[in-house]
Amino acid sequence: MYKQLGVIGCGLMGGSFALAMKKAKLVKRVVGYSKSPSTTEAAKRLGVIDVVAESALLAVAGSDVVLLAVPVSATEATLKAIRDLVTPQMLIMDVGSTKCDVSEAARSALGDRLPSFVPAHPIAGKESGGVQHAEATLYQGRQVILTPLPETLPQAVQAATDIWSSLGSQVLKMTPKNHDAAFAAVSHLPHLLAYAYFQSVATQPAGRDFLSLAGPGFRDFTRIAASEPAVWRDILMANKAEVLVQAGRFRQTLDALEALIKADDANALEARIRLISEARAEWQMGAPRLPK
Amino acid sequence: MYKQLGVIGCGLMGGSFALAMKKAKLVKRVVGYSKSPSTTEAAKRLGVIDVVAESALLAVAGSDVVLLAVPVSATEATLKAIRDLVTPQMLIMDVGSTKCDVSEAARSALGDRLPSFVPAHPIAGKESGGVQHAEATLYQGRQVILTPLPETLPQAVQAATDIWSSLGSQVLKMTPKNHDAAFAAVSHLPHLLAYAYFQSVATQPAGRDFLSLAGPGFRDFTRIAASEPAVWRDILMANKAEVLVQAGRFRQTLDALEALIKADDANALEARIRLISEARAEWQMGAPRLPK
């Protein structure tokens, strides 16, 4: 059992981690810091954290495990702020959706304290952010990707693996680069597309009337367009190169489908979407990778 | 209470209508026809229909209400096949997702029997088609758009309104043209985008690995990419012009968001996606149109 968890950023992700750690009886005490005092007050009131810290550094003081759950662009400044209290016995993790930029930020901010830091990305979330939506089960049954650096202590990676496994997550390890390429494809691009699509409908002259007619397909397709702007600004900027590569691939497949429609080639269109529809029907979230 | 419902096409939509009509005690007997005998056999076994008809025409014989639930491209041939038994006392409806083509098909196939036909589009569905997924509650709490033609009998429109209202649906009336423009935006384009996106991920070299990492956002964004190929081939082809207009609008908003990313304009990107995110968070399915 850990003595004290320090949570920096007590929103949906940080708050849910605190609740899950408490529920799993993995930690005695949770100290929380957020940029906005109303957030930590709410977190304390909701029983998510036990003690409010007045700064990120004070959330680290006395903690043996620390979770950074801030927008990725705040990673470097936050790690700099806590650096002096980081020890080799401490485990520091983040929950950012991009890992190359977080790794660079950690390298630049932590210097010789880098080995205590295990970059982590839990594949979980909700379209409604904020500590009021935090729940102990958010990470249960979900994948968590760890992207350890060459300097990362093996015992830190082991401790991170043990924690997430105890919370019911399936832990995978990847390089930051492979992580960012994969998530540009399966997460970052769909967010960009959902934002663009929702905007294109909402801003046309009859947009409000159209939106009043939209059904369950629209609801699910656009759910992620309600995602937190500051978080997604950072992700799209941090993983820009990979996101633009994936957007280019998407445009090519869209071009090809549109060309079949324009050419009135119903048979080819049906054959194409039959393959897609069957593959999507077979896909299951978190399914183990099949042998190639 | 109706004496007999004739269902032509006993899949998800037709089967669910039959179950809902029975549950609401709006009909005594359901006769069903499907192109594939295994479908009508399953429909009978599941209690969805009471009697199997050997042809579309025989499903109409003795019916006072008839539902066509076939892919929209089959509408004209089906209406021609039943035309001789259509009477002014009978109510004929379809459930197609496009209404201009269905109206033209009805005009050409039904001739002087046209007034009995009320084009209908219930905004309901599932990604899994087939009579085995039919349920009596599919249309409950959902919008149903009626697009009556100038020739349509007012009492037929009233009867259609009463039926759908009794099934718990909210009935709206629109012209076929306005219907098709609206649904190109809120339904047909998202299907095209979901197909294109899923294909672009699945067909890249690391596609299988990427798919194994995808989470709940991906799951919801791509749910409609599992939709029935024959149905969506017809819809995308039938509403081609409006779909391509909407695709063009979407490309413009995507271009603009990508331009902000390329220009490293994080502030403008955040401002843009904040507006989108707030509008999407406020949107509710089936919400009444606000006064402008």
Q: Does domain A178-282 have CATH number 1.10.3660.10?
A: yes
CA distances in angstroms from A225 to A197, A221, B125, B281, listed in the order given: 9, 9, 22, 8
- Give the model's confidence band at A129: pLDDT under 50 very low, under 70 low, under 90 confident, else very high: confident
What's the average model confidence in pLDDT over B264-283?
97
Residue B204: CB atoms within 10 A of its CB come to 17
Residue B289: pLDDT over 60: no
Which of A146-155, B88-97, B121-130 has the weakest average pLDDT?
Answer: B121-130
Tens digits of residue pLDDT in B46-78: 999 999 999 999 999 999 999 999 999 999 999
Residue A289: pLDDT over 80: no
Which runs of E-coded beta strand occur in chain A? 2-8, 27-33, 51-52, 65-68, 91-94, 117-118, 120-122, 143-146, 170-173
Residue A250 in contact with partner chain B when CB distance is under 8 A: yes
CB A161 within 8 A of CB B222: no
Tens digits of residue pLDDT in A174-197: 999 999 999 999 999 999 999 999
Percent of chain A with pLDDT over 90: 94
What's the pLDDT score for residue B18? 98
What's the pLDDT score for residue B125? 81
CB contacts, 8 Å: A191 with chain B: 217
CB A43 within 8 A of CB A165: no
What's the average model confidence in pLDDT over A213-237?
94
* Closest CA of chain B from A49, distance in Å: 27
A69's CB contacts (< 8 A; 6+ apart) are A7, A8, A9, A10, A11, A13, A14, A17, A94, A95
- d(C-alpha B257, C-alpha B17), whole Å: 42
CB contact under 8 A, B182 and A277: no
Give all strands of the β-sheet with B170-173 in edge-to-edge order.
B120-122, B143-146, B170-173
What's the pLDDT score for residue A287? 55
What's the pLDDT score for residue A258? 98
CB contacts, 8 Å: A266 with chain B: 73, 233-234, 237
What's the average model confidence in pLDDT over B115-134?
92
Residue A292: pLDDT over 50: no
CB contact under 8 A, A123 and B262: no
Short-list A144, A142, A149, A151, CA closest to A177: A149
- d(C-alpha A276, C-alpha A278), whole Å: 5
Residue A35: pLDDT over 70: yes
Tens digits of residue pLDDT in B9-20: 999 999 999 999
CB contacts, 8 Å: B283 with chain A: 211, 214, 222
What's the pLDDT score for residue A291? 36
Q: For chain B, what is the radius of gyration of the CA atoms?
A: 21
CB contact under 8 A, A272 and B181: no
- d(C-alpha A122, C-alpha A171), whole Å: 9
Count of positions (residues) in chain B: 292
What's the pLDDT score for residue A128? 79
CB A172 within 8 A of CB B210: no
- Give the model's confidence band at B287: pLDDT under 50 very low, under 70 low, under 90 confident, else very high: low
- d(C-alpha A225, C-alpha A203), whole Å: 14
What's the pLDDT score for residue A290? 39
CB contact under 8 A, A211 and B186: yes
In terms of CA atoms, which chain A residue is nearest residue B171?
Answer: A213
Mean pLDDT score of chain B, rounded to an integer?
Answer: 95
CB contacts, 8 Å: B288 with chain A: 212
* Closest CA of chain B from A199, distance in Å: 6
* Phi, then psi, of B73 in degrees rounded to 5: -70, -15
Percent of chain A with pLDDT over 70: 98
In chain A, which among 59-78 make CB contacts under 8 A with chain B? 73
Q: What ipTM, to 2 d.p.?
A: 0.86
A interface test, pick of B277, B278, B292 with most A CB neighbours within 10 Å: B277
Residue B191 in contact with partner chain A when CB distance is under 8 A: yes
CA torsion, ordered A190, A195, A199, A202, to nearest 10 deg: 90
Residue A218: pLDDT over 60: yes
* Closest CA of chain B from A138, distance in Å: 11
Element (H, E) at A256: helix A240-262
In terms of CA atoms, which chain A residue is nearest residue B280?
Answer: A226
* Phi, then psi, of A283 in degrees rounded to 5: -65, 140
CA distances in angstroms from B249 to A205, B177, B256, listed in the order given: 12, 19, 11
The identity of residue A16, as a single letter, is S
What's the pLDDT score for residue B252? 98
CB contact under 8 A, A240 and B261: yes
* Phi, then psi, of B47 in degrees rounded to 5: 75, 15
CB contact under 8 A, A237 and B261: yes
CB B34 within 8 A of CB B16: no
Tens digits of residue pLDDT in B143-155: 999 999 999 999 9
Q: Cα A18 to the chain's mean position, in Å?
A: 16
What's the pLDDT score for residue B233? 96
CB A172 within 8 A of CB A144: yes
- d(C-alpha A120, C-alpha A148), whole Å: 8
- d(C-alpha A255, C-alpha A252), whole Å: 5
Fold adopted by A2-174: Rossmann fold (3.40.50)
Domain edges within chain A: 2-174, 178-282
Partner residue facing B201 (CB), from A143, A185, A281:
A185
Residue A241 in contact with partner chain B when CB distance is under 8 A: no
CB contact under 8 A, B124 and A216: yes
Q: Tokens 């324009």 identify what position?
A: A262
Asked whether the CA dihedral B4, B9, B11, B14 is positive or negative, the reply is negative
